[in-house]
Structures are given as structure tokens and as C-alpha cells.
Amino acid sequence: MGDRGRSNHSAVIDFILVGFRVRPELHILLFLLFLLVYAMILLGNVGMMTIIMTDPRLNTPMYFFLGNLSFIDLFYSSVIAPKAMINFWSESKSISFAGCLIQFFLFALFIVTEGFLLAAMSYDHFIAICNPLLYSVQMSTRLCIQLVDGCPQF
């Protein structure tokens, strides 16, 4: 039957990223498009967090949750976009197994965290609609922080 102790094993070291199948001349256009979208995402999220933190009129639970959602979205988009833009310029369009694993883990973590944060925001809106007179008592700063802390964190 053969020697069972010896067998042919292979290990995955890199994954080849196929990407967009377009002419190489369009890679510059796609890179600039991705860069523009990524810059707008960064500018919008940082701008929203800055406005929420600096304006005292926005110290309400809704804006607290929106600021945290912008923070999560900032990292969420930063997991995938830079590697995608790098692949437009690099000759070897590959990612290491460890890099792929880390990228997938962070991507999944931020998706789950965003879902929990949206659930906390829906609870905030539920309290605001069902008990508008008791809203400021029920949705205290302490409860808002506890709801955000209940989200999966990295």
C-alpha cells in the first residue's frame, strides 16, 4: 500500500488577488477613483467626529452613537481600501496567508461591532419614541457608555 508515514504536503503561503480584469492603462484611473472615495470616507468620518466632540449642543445620546459609528466606519474602511489601492501598483498582486487572516478577522470584527452599535442606536430611538418625557432620565451618559462598551471591541 505504500508508506503511510511519508506523504506529499503543501502549505498555503500566499493568495493571489485577481482584482479587476482591465487594461493596465485603466489601473491609474481606478487607483485615483479608489483614492478619492477613500479620502472622502476619511474626511467625512473625521469631520463628523470632530464636529460632534467640539460642539456642546451635540452632547446627546444620538450624536454620541453617531460619533462611535463614524469611528468604527473609519477603521472598517481602512481594513480593505489600502490593500486594494496598493494592488493597482504592485507587480505581485498577492497577500500572505497571515495578512489575509488578519484582514479577514478585522473586517469581520468591525462588521459585528457595527451591527451591535446599530442595535444600541435602535434601542436609543425606541426609548426616545416610546418614552419621550423620560428619555433624558433613561438614556443617561452612563447607559450610553455601557451600550457602546457592550459592543465587541478589539
Contact 34, 22 (CB under 8 A): no
pLDDT in tens, 6-54: 667 777 677 776 666 767 777 788 889 989 999 999 999 999 999 999 9
Q: Three-state SS for 12? A: coil
* pLDDT greater than 60 at residue 2: no
Instruction: Pick the range with the lowest mean pLDDT from 2-11, 29-38, 72-81, 97-106.
Output: 2-11
Q: What pLDDT is attached to residue 105?
A: 94
Q: What domains lie within the chain, and their CATH numbers?
A: 23-149 (1.20.1070.10)
Q: Beta strand 14-16 with 94-96: parallel, antiparallel or unpaired? A: antiparallel
What percentage of the chain exceeds 70 in pLDDT? 88
What does pTM read for this prediction? 0.78
pLDDT of residue 106: 93
Nearest to 82 by CA among 39, 27, 46, 43: 39
pLDDT band at 69 (very low <50, low <70, confident <90, very high): very high
Asked if residue 130 has pLDDT above 70, the reply is: yes
φ, ψ for residue 16 (rounded to 5)? -90, 125
Q: If we measure between CA atoms, which residue out of 12, 21, 31 comes closest to residue 99?
A: 12
Residue 145 is placed in which grid cell?
457608555
Average pLDDT, the chain: 85
